[in-house]
């Protein structure tokens, strides 16, 4: 697969992780939050299976994969890591990923809800993906449809996730993160998965409880 990141060194990843964690903690303090409220998730889509040991050795414990088949293989090889599914969720893949993950970040269709009803467990937990910017053709529930969608969910909905429109300017994402936080508050939800390598600081300031960071951790 194109774009794979190889040649990782544990010390380099550990040092990068420490720098990212420092930025997360500083952003939390700026917002008057406890830094312990924010989890750092290492996105490993571009990390080949044979390099994942380096990620674990560097001290990262929470990881996320975008593709069901890769998640299945990687989680089987590294059960010591905590696995989340963070990619676009195809309903036919729900059964495949459920045994390996503690959280799915991207539920956004009734077909996925039907699969969760069929294959979910008592402890299955999900985040609903919301298209807060109203981007045409982008995955996610419309904000005004969220309440009804949550009511239809057959498993526990503990929070929301969003991917704002891409921008190289982190500040451009702030209003979208703030909108997701406000939406979660209206529905009594506490977990917010938002922010990636280019804007996680702003996301933390706006209430993120999980930030999904990839390239910043690997020097790519």
Q: How confident is the model over 158-176, as a mean pLDDT? A: 96
DSSP designation for 9: -
Does the domain at 10-218 match CATH 3.20.20.10? Answer given as yes
pLDDT (0 to 100) of residue 220: 58
The residue-averaged pLDDT of 39-64 equals: 96
Average pLDDT over residues 138-153: 96
Give DSSP secondary structure letters for 114-183.
HHHHHH--TT-EEEEEB-TT--TT--SB-GGGHHHHHHH-SSEEEEEE--PPP-SSGGGGHHHHHHHHHH
Mean pLDDT of the region 129-138: 93
The number of helices, as runs of H, and strands, as runs of E, in the chain is 9, 8
Domain boundaries, the chain: 10-218
- If pLDDT is split at 50, 70 and 90, which confidence band does 1 have? very low
């Amino acid at each position: 697969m194109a774009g794979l990141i190889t040649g990782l060194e544990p010390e380099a990843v550990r040092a990068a992780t420490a720098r990212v964690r420092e930025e997360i903690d500083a952003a939390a303090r700026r917002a008057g939050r406890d830094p312990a409220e924010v989890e750092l998730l290492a996105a490993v889509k571009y990390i080949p299976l044979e390099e994942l040991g380096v990620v674990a050795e560097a001290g990262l414990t929470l990881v996320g994969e975008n593709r069901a088949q890769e998640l299945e293989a990687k989680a089987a090889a590294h059960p010591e890591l905590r696995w989340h599914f963070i990619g676009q969720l195809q309903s036919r893949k729900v059964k495949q990923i459920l045994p390996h993950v503690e959280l799915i970040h991207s539920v956004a269709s009734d077909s996925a809800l039907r699969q969760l009803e069929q294959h979910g467990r008592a402890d299955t937990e999900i985040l609903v993906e919301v298209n807060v910017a109203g981007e045409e053709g982008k995955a996610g529930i419309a904000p005004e449809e969220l309440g009804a969608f949550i009511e239809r969910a057959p498993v526990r909905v503990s929070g929301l996730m969003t991917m704002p429109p891409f921008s190289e300017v982190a500040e451009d994402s702030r209003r979208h993160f703030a909108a997701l936080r406000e939406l979660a508050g209206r529905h009594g939800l506490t977990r917010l998965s938002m922010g990636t390598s280019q804007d996680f600081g702003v996301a933390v300031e706006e209430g993120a409880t999980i930030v999904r960071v990839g390239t910043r951790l690997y020097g790519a």
